[in-house]
Structure 1
């Protein structure tokens, strides 16, 4: 139980610091350090991710930086895609799911590296731009479709491998819009919470959630989220991204080796 609590704290802290990443590392941590199968670890991870992301999103809402309309658009499509992802997960064995996870982690590292090297797109090239008069996003068809696509990817991956989808949402919002990170992180957390709850509901229908194992993981994740939120203002974003990319790459290699062995 203590191990699960510590692992949950690590996941929650990552989510508090970055607005993403915790979900995609939750399952590998449970697989390696708690000895769970991917199909057992995924719903436990989703439960903790949904609760902790909800806490972070509510904090952003109180501060007035959460873009709730954008979050609802992405989450709405994501919720519709989660049953498809969950169905796909049950068509694969544990080895294949671990390989998929390793591929996702490596893709995440590659995406982060490319985003750091490429210059940020100019406002006129971004799909979703803030109106300087109202301070709200201009809702064009291009903006809506772009956000819906990001939400669909997050929802499918949430159902497939039990990730919250923040590693899709945060880069997408950063590239598609001119929102600053103070708005991107809570908006991402809101999407993660809603999509994860949907995936969790589907997992409950499949009867694959162990509540007794999930509780200590959730408690640890909640505590970690609170600590991460406090530390976020004192740490450099670039250093956090580099550190997370290194951890993700190492975990990806470990997952691939385990799947092949």
Structure 2
């Protein structure tokens, strides 16, 4: 393995560890790491980041399925919409110059980190993560233990899939920072079920985006494979320590690092 591939695997392991310790939204740092660490452009980094995040999320989703936490019907529905929308995002990414893509990604990263900071702050104050639920078009049937599929429910989940798919293709993000807040607002699922279902959606949508990128000839497998394998190893290893290390304070640290990465990406884009 070359020095470049070793560096890629190491950066991937870092992303996998962040995913294990901070939740489904942590993979958004994959693109900045690929841009700064391996010198890829935004269009090149997006599919590689999705390959790693998708594989790592897939591992988490399988574990969630074994524990009965994944709402697989909802996950398949959201992912199907996302997979259809992702090629449109990828098309837009190829029409836009690198600078607008990088600045757009920086804004999305700041938003995701702000949400994570707010969620962690609420946890530190003892406020339940789903305490602000006001509109719940998707609720569990207490007799069957399944979501009641109504038109408002389908509409809310379809919009979630559309947005996560577009962002997946356009910016190379898994979409956990979109899916988790949406499921928290529109359903009455427990948070551990929301995270597990989100991981399943991320794995499926990322797979669709990677396939589209491969067919379009923009997937850098030489960089992507070691980066993705490193992410899976990092996730599996970090899960062993997550119970002792993970928590709101660590999420706040990640949020600060993420905002710093966004500002550095924006500064680097504007000065070149």
TM bin, normalised by shorter chain, reads over 0.9
Q: Which residue of 1 aligns with 2:231?
A: 221
After superposition, the CA RMSD in angstroms is 2.0
Aligned to 2:50: 46
Q: So what's the TM-score if we normalise by structure 1?
A: 0.92
2:32 corresponds in structure 1 to: 28
Structure 2 unaligned blocks of 5 or more: none
Query: How far 1:122 moved relative to its partner?
Result: 6.2
**For this pair of structures, how many residues does the alignment match?**
261
The C-alpha deviation readout for 1:92-120, integer Å capped at 9, x for no partner, is 11111110110101121333455556984
Aligned partners of 1:130 and 1:179 also within 8 Å? yes
SS in structure 2 opposite 1:90?
helix
State the shift of 1:21 in Å: 2.5
Structure 2 length as normaliser, TM-score? 0.89
Distance 1:61 1:96, change over 3 A: same
Please point out which of 66, 89, 94 is paired with 2:98: 94
Deviates more, 1:164-173 or 1:79-88: 164-173
Deviation at 1:7, TM superposition (A): 0.8
Distance change (3 Å), C-alpha of 1:240 and 1:169: farther
Match of 2:218 among 165, 183, 208: 208
1:110-259 matched pairs, under 5 angstroms: 110-113=114-117, 120-121=130-131, 125-259=135-269
How far apart are 1:232 and its partner, in Å? 3.1
Aligned: 1:106 with 2:110: yes
Deviations 1:186-213 (A, max 9, x none): 2111100110111111111221112111
Go from structure 1 to structure 2 and tell me whether the alpha carbon gap of 1:203 and 1:129 turns closer, same or farther (over 3 Å shift): same
Question: Counterpart in 2 of 1:83?
Answer: 87
Runs (4+) of structure 1 exceeding 6 A deviation are none
Aligned partner of 1:58 in structure 2 is: 62
What is the CA-CA distance between 1:121 and the residue it aligns to? 4.9
The residue number in structure 2 matching 1:3 is 7
Secondary structure of 1:209's counterpart equals coil
> Is contact 1:19-1:188 (8 Å) kept?
no
